[in-house]
Chains A and B, each alone.
Chain A
Amino acid sequence: MINVTLLLIPALPLLGFIILGLGYRSIPKKLASLIGPGTILISFILSLVTLFSFRLSPFAFRFFDWISLGPVSIPFEFLIDPLSILMMLIITGVGFLIHVYSIGYMSHDKGFNRFFAYMNLFIFFMLILVMSANYAVMFIGWEGVGLCSYLLIGFWFKNQQFNNAAKKAFIMNRIGDLGFLLGMFLIFTTFRSFSYQAVFALAKTMSPGSETMVAITLLLFVGAVGKSAQIPLYTWLPDAMAGPTPVSALIHAATMVTAGVYMVARSGVLYVLAPVTMEVMGITALATMLLAATIAIFQNDIKKVLAYSTISQLGYMFLALSVGAFTGAMFHLMTHAFFKALLFLGAGSVIHALEGEQDIRKMGGLKNALPKTYWTFLVGTLAIAGLPPLSGFFSKDEILGNVFGSSLPLWVVAVGVSMMTAFYMFRLLFLTFAGKNRGSDPQSLKIHESPSVMTIPLFILAILAFFGGFLNIPEIMGGSGMLKEFLAPVFADAVRLNQLQPHHVAARLEWSNMVVVLLLVLLMVYVAYRRFVKREPETVFGEAKMSTQMNIEIGANNRNFFIRLIENKFYVDEVYDYLFVRPALRISDALHKFIEERFIDRIVNGTGTLVVRFSNGIRYLQSGHVGMYLFFMILGILLILFINIFL
Chain B
Amino acid sequence: MNTLTTIPINHYLIFCSMLFSIGVIGVLIKRNALVILMSVELMINSVNLLLAAFSAYSNDPAGQIFVFFIMVVAAAEVAIGLAIFVLIYKTTHSIDIDVLNKLKW
Contacts and interface: CB of A to CB of B under 8 A. Distances in A.
Check whether chain A touches chain B (CB < 8 angstroms).
yes
Interface string B3-45: 0000000000000000000001001100100001000000000
B73 interface: no
B101 to A, nearest CB: 4
Dominant secondary structure of chain A at its interface with chain B: helix
A634 B98 contact: no
B93 interface: no
B101 A623 contact: yes
Contacts of A620: 105
A622 B36 CA distance: 20
B101 A630 contact: no
Given A619-B105, A620-B105, A626 B97 contact: yes
A358 to B, nearest CB: 79
Contact of A624 (B24, B28, B104): B104
B43 to A, nearest CB: 10
B17 to A, nearest CB: 13
A631 B100 CA distance: 16
Interface in B55-105: 97-98, 100-105
A620 B104 CA distance: 8
Nearest to A620: B105
Given A634-B24, A634-B27, A634-B28, A627 B105 contact: no
A625 B33 CA distance: 12
A625 B28 CA distance: 12
B101 A626 contact: yes
Contacts of A622: 103-105
Nearest to B24: A634
A631 B104 CA distance: 16
A281 B77 CA distance: 100
Nearest to A622: B105
A584 B90 CA distance: 75
A624 B27 contact: no
A625 B98 contact: yes
B98 A624 contact: no
Contacts of B105: 619-620, 622-624
Nearest to A634: B24
Contact of B98 (A619, A627, A630, A631): A627
A619 B24 CA distance: 27
Contact of B102 (A624, A630, A631): A624
B24 A625 contact: no
Nearest to A619: B105
Contacts of A631: 28
A627 B97 contact: yes
A634 B31 CA distance: 16
B28 A630 contact: yes
B100 A626 contact: yes
A615 to B, nearest CB: 10
Contacts of A623: 101, 104-105
Interface in A589-647: 619-620, 622-627, 630-631, 634
Nearest to B27: A630
Nearest to B102: A624
B28 to A, nearest CB: 6
Contacts of A626: 97, 100-101
Contacts of A627: 28, 31, 97-98
Contact of A625 (B27, B36, B101): B101
Contacts of A630: 27-28, 36
Interface of B: 24, 27-28, 31, 36, 97-98, 100-105
15 contacts: A619-B105, A620-B105, A622-B103, A622-B104, A622-B105, A623-B104, A623-B105, A624-B101, A624-B104, A625-B97, A625-B101, A626-B101, A627-B98, A630-B36, A634-B24
Given A622-B105, A624-B105, A625-B101, 6 more contacts: A624-B101, A626-B97, A626-B100, A630-B27, A630-B28, A634-B28
